[in-house]
Structure 1
């Protein structure tokens, strides 16, 4: 008999029943069928009998042993009994309890080590309030957009990147990084979900997707709605900073559309191809509107899909043509001065709260050409003094003339300069607009 019994009843008949139930031959077969053991007193069904026997005794299989201490494992049914010696997949109760205690101790030690390293990390993070009046125009506008995207959470608790999706069509992580670099938002490790920060090879690691951030309070008004009103009441005038933020947003708007069209036409851009296209689109957005860039994207992605259907092309080869196609299309438009069609904003791609603020505060949307965007921001500049109107910065003029000579674009530069002056710009303002990269356009 390979099963040892631990009887838990003094009733002779019940003891005999348990022994008969588990009795086995030398070949490992049970001597009696369960159905032959009924009826037994009030029990008439074999299933009920098996359950009753488990109350009368505990059975330990000599052929099934603990993988740690070699103790015989308890079995609850006949089907669990093994005919040949083997190790159990799970430990015996005693070894399992030892493992549980050991695991708890290891977890406690790991948690203590993590807390120690995390506290040291938190101590190195910047602390203390900032002055919202000193924020740059781009930082202030971006912070206002973030407040609209996750209000009222921004001023009351921490947030993660996933909760900021309403900020812009894509590139939310890059925009939050701008605020983080500016010291407007900071990591808030103590409010992180379990597993966000962890130790690996004694190094503190973080799952960047789940990093919690918190708004840094204003030094006068703290983290309040009143502090947000400071930003709304400010006069925006830094045209260069605002235009760069617009290019960040417009590029995200364009690339979001690009990726959607590529998915629709089964184009899988690699990282280098995407970065090349992103750079091309950003330069194009200095002159054209987002909706015009959407049309350029649609046309060239569709053309690449047509190539992929040719017998001597593959999906990969067709996809590889997209960066060059988009670049050549924009070069041709600039050279010929062509009028580019505008594309409607897709229903699935909202402008986000940052786009809403550009429209609300400056009247700029996806249909506004980049050259007009820069001109509108330039109008926000404070009126120049008489001296500065007649005497723009020497370095700006020198750089503009140098670029014109190097690019052989003197006539275009003079034509654009005349356009700006006729449009009412002061000399210094015209020089500044042209130096910002938005002044060189064809007639």
Structure 2
């Protein structure tokens, strides 16, 4: 290679070595004058002084001609791979002082490009092999639709209405399901994926969705496609799908959990919508804290009432952001604490929430519509009614409750009064009830705290 083994005819002038490819004396003189440098590393003659040269009238034409009859090597620049001097094609590429470039010489670059091309071909072949193997495994999967939990069946029903007819016999992506819920659509899709109701579809049309990761595969979320997993007996047609979704929904606990997940998504979508109106950005590291407070509030209030709570917090946050020593970013960071204070104030009876109408910019999503069609729930439905409808326990009448707790209440109050803790017991009992405990559960928790002396 020229940069490693210079030809015998190489001429050295200062820090630039020349590999001259002509025997024409006039051209050789031109090359020497063009590349000649002084002790300071500057070029001795200006390019304009070398023109015209024969039929060449301008500097760009001269530089092009020189490249055809000479290779120039800068001793101040060496290849990062082999250490040879780098080829330069114009005066502007020359360095006055030793320089450590990050790129290789031309021959080494060609070798590296070829090695890279071979490695990429091998990687693509390995990826295709793994994807084909994965596709075979996916296509062999089946599921018993009768064993699918009710909450997943309800999501599947809503998903079918969202992307019909692609769920049955077709494929879809996350982006196709945007109208499934007001927010966190990917999480609902992933529940179906994790539950085996749907699977990724490696043979779906579109750009490659997978990449090699360790010994397995990973995927690009914006590319991956999904399809319905067939029933082990009925397949994956329309008739089989009816067996999946047309059922008596009995798992009330699972459905109640799904409702709360949907309701949290509805409220978080409202929060982001309101924050957008006031140019507030919800801090990423505070999102889970906010969702937790919203989830707790939804056990006591309807979605529409929690919207009211959120609206008050965003209004106050926006107002505070205009204060002299505050900012949008600082104020947005206080949203979780303000939500919790609003909730606690409401539980203590110091404030009340209004049931607001659904904003036109915030559709309920197909999952919300399915809940409404089956149970009549919507954003204004009282939380207590929803919990009662989706409770597996039959409510006890007053006489049964009193009979079950009578002896424990007497024991608790005797111990509390004897220790002067009667008022504290009543306060703690109220707090436990407000936080969602039933009467028996609250009494048992208080027994652990206040009845120890009596038991000794």
Q: Bigger CA drift: 187-196 or 287-296?
A: 187-196
* Aligned positions, number: 392
SS at structure 2 position matched to 1:342: coil
1:44-63 correspondence to structure 2 within 5 Å: 44-63=57-76
C-alpha separation in 2, matches of 1:284 and 1:407: 29
1:7-406 correspondence to structure 2 within 5 Å: 7-9=20-22, 11-25=24-38, 27-104=40-117, 106-107=119-120, 127-155=140-168, 159-188=172-201, 197-199=211-213, 206=218, 209=221, 213-231=226-244, 233-236=246-249, 238-261=251-274, 264=278, 266=280, 268=282, 275=288, 277-286=290-299, 288-303=301-316, 315=331, 318-319=334-335, 321-332=337-348, 340-373=353-386
- Listed one character per residue, the Cα deviations across residues 279-314 of structure 1 (whole Å, up to 9, x for unaligned) are 454354345431122112223443465667789997
Contact 1:296 1:329 in 2 (8 A): no
SS at structure 1 position matched to 2:71: strand
- Listed one character per residue, the Cα deviations across residues 181-204 of structure 1 (whole Å, up to 9, x for unaligned) are 4321234567797685444xx575
TM-score (norm 1): 0.69
Shift of 1:77: 0.9
C-alpha separation in 2, matches of 1:331 and 1:406: 27
Contact 2:313 2:335 in 1 (8 A): no
SS at structure 1 position matched to 2:86: strand
C-alpha separation in 1, matches of 2:29 and 2:182: 77
Shift of 1:17: 3.3
Contact 1:370 1:438 in 2 (8 A): no
| Distance change in 2, residues 1:404/1:186 (3 Å) | farther
Q: Bigger CA drift: 248-257 or 298-307?
A: 298-307
C-alpha separation in 1, matches of 2:88 and 2:389: 82
| Distance change in 2, residues 1:69/1:241 (3 Å) | closer
Shift of 1:29: 3.9
Contact 2:20 2:28 in 1 (8 A): yes
Unaligned runs of 5+ in 1: 382-391, 409-436
CA RMSD across the alignment: 4.6
Shift of 1:363: 3.6
Which residue of structure 1 aligns with residue 420 of structure 2?
none
C-alpha separation in 2, matches of 1:142 and 1:401: 41
Q: Bigger CA drift: 213-222 or 259-268?
A: 259-268
| Distance change in 2, residues 1:300/1:20 (3 Å) | closer
Unaligned runs of 5+ in 2: 1-12, 411-435, 440-456
C-alpha separation in 1, matches of 2:263 and 2:122: 49
Contact 2:196 2:229 in 1 (8 A): yes
- Listed one character per residue, the Cα deviations across residues 180-227 of structure 1 (whole Å, up to 9, x for unaligned) are 34321234567797685444xx57584684665442123345334444
Contact 1:60 1:74 in 2 (8 A): yes
C-alpha separation in 1, matches of 2:239 and 2:165: 13
| Distance change in 2, residues 1:251/1:406 (3 Å) | farther
| Distance change in 2, residues 1:79/1:197 (3 Å) | closer
Which residue of structure 1 aligns with residue 442 of structure 2?
none
SS at structure 2 position matched to 1:67: coil
SS at structure 1 position matched to 2:312: helix
| Distance change in 2, residues 1:320/1:311 (3 Å) | farther
| Distance change in 2, residues 1:300/1:93 (3 Å) | closer
